Structure 1
């Protein structure tokens, strides 16, 4: 019998990535040939798409602009089975991120959050988001929040409202801090105050360090999973430290690898609650993302009748 996973409501950014891989070294003030593609992105959209790829019922709460990028972002998500519960901003554009990928697959991002920064508490309708999910999935939904929502002054109140609403409904919750430099700017104590009571925090190694390390994080949340790139991941609780190693892969593009890790881990954890299996599933998903281009799962090629 195929296991059925609890569904997930994601709160996070949605947008379009301008994925750029230079073919030659970049010289300031010069010109370089590059491979450039417009691909769907945004941390919330990425995690939701990877969850759908794991056959998890998933809906996404976000804000987009009333423009081509917003329509494209919605279409790309709906095409892979994500239920989109979007507010449409009549003034701000949809988020666009320029992603510069180097020869080692590491990325540098130039971000315009656009309508994501205007995500408001009025946009947080958890009951609607839960209502569009697959009702065949047993159990209460799980809420996953992208840290970008909390780290932006404009959208923070909405992110906190989503976490509070989920707790009131008895849902489990998780947060990915997303950006170490932004965590450092607001301060570890402040960020940990925002996520106090969350079931699972999902930082990478640099974000964990910005928060004071796993022991400090565990004073505010029940469990913390730290990713270490090619060195795997660890699951910490007050009395447990589980580890998973990463397979050897050629990293073509690290964009979205953390979002994919989150989805793989949650898909497993929301099935049977086993940290060891969840770590392995997260590492496998993150490694698969790093081995491809773009932040979303690869689409199967269309077949001709």
Structure 2
């Protein structure tokens, strides 16, 4: 079973029709969606493999709705309830690019992961957002260590350059080296920021994660898979008819990749499944496959 630990929040997705006009109105369409990188991965992976979400959500009606929505996808939701449910305002420009204003709320309040939540997990995936804040940061690191000690595999997602800069580049690299995840997902900017892959070759920090497969996404350009013991290889991204909203595309990619990789370990096929899963969300609001 795949476990995913991290945020479950409400996304307020704003499709802006043009440049923001400071001090007055700007025409837009607004959508409310279930969000949170970890919850998104869990929802997209459900149906492809058994999956469990681990986290904390507010003890409020918004939290009730988010837990029910996620469980409705077939996810085994294990969530403590405390504080208020977090929200993220996601501004989407006409190119589909995102500007995010996060208020993670209760997502940072997970203070312990019971043994029962980890029972049966063969893999645990944690977006780096979960390291940014306490007590969830300590709980996430502890859960990753426990799964590894039990013989399971693990993965991290670099999440965002903004988060990495705030957390500390060196601090994240040291933590990743200590945790030694099986997989690390990053986009081109994150991989370059961390010094893991840039300009078509491994970066200066790559040796610190020598035992980790680094998967670097690059939008419509090929994804590069740099695995221990083999030459890095690229997997082409099939053309997509429409790109309106990039929210959740990276999470969908991780979900498709992980589900396929857990099935047979084929990294090239896993990347192809990641691309196929990500393609399904690019024309809809937020981390959803719904029609706008």
TM-score normalised to the size of structure 1? 0.87
Q: Aligned equivalents of 1:18 and 1:53: distance in 2?
A: 26
Secondary structure of the 2:232 match is strand
Secondary structure of the 2:147 match is helix
1:23 aligns with 2:17: yes
Tell me the residue number matched to 1:280.
272
Tell me the residue number matched to 1:75.
68
Q: Aligned equivalents of 1:185 and 1:39: distance in 2?
A: 26
1:40 aligns with 2:34: yes
Q: Aligned equivalents of 1:287 and 1:270: distance in 2?
A: 21
Tell me the residue number matched to 2:161.
180
RMSD: 1.7
Partner deviation per Cα, 1:53-112 (whole Å, 9 max, x = no partner): 42x1001110001112111110111111001100100xx211101111111111111110
Partner deviation per Cα, 1:21-72 (whole Å, 9 max, x = no partner): 1234321001123211111110011000000042x10011100011121111
1:125 aligns with 2:117: no
* Mapped contact 1:246–1:287 kept (Cα < 8 A): no
Q: In structure 2, list runs of 5 or more residues that go unmatched.
A: none
The Cα of 1:243 is off from its aligned counterpart by 1.1
* Mapped contact 1:188–1:212 kept (Cα < 8 A): no
Q: Aligned pair count?
A: 280
* Mapped contact 1:218–1:237 kept (Cα < 8 A): no
Paired residue for 1:219, among 205, 208, 213? 208
The Cα of 1:237 is off from its aligned counterpart by 1.9
Partner deviation per Cα, 1:140-181 (whole Å, 9 max, x = no partner): 611001110112344211111011111111100000010112
Partner deviation per Cα, 1:244-275 (whole Å, 9 max, x = no partner): 11122221100010000000101111111011
Secondary structure of the 1:295 match is coil
Tell me the residue number matched to 2:193.
210
Partner deviation per Cα, 1:214-267 (whole Å, 9 max, x = no partner): 342452242110100111311102432121111222211000100000001011
Tell me the residue number matched to 2:233.
242
Paired residue for 1:60, among 36, 53, 71? 53
Tell me the residue number matched to 2:181.
198
Tell me the residue number matched to 1:255.
247
Q: Aligned equivalents of 1:206 and 1:251: distance in 2?
A: 19
Q: 1:24 to 1:189 in 2, by over 3 A?
A: closer
Secondary structure of the 2:100 match is strand
Paired residue for 2:218, among 216, 219, 228? 228
Q: Aligned equivalents of 1:291 and 1:232: distance in 2?
A: 20
Q: How does 1:76-155 map to 2 (within 5 A)?
A: 76-89=69-82, 92-120=83-111, 122=112, 124-130=113-119, 141-155=122-136
TM-score normalised to the size of structure 2? 0.91
Q: 1:74 to 1:229 in 2, by over 3 A?
A: same
Q: Aligned equivalents of 2:18 and 2:208: distance in 1?
A: 47
Tell me the residue number matched to 1:302.
none
Q: 1:114 to 1:126 in 2, by over 3 A?
A: same
Moved more, 18-27 or 251-260: 18-27
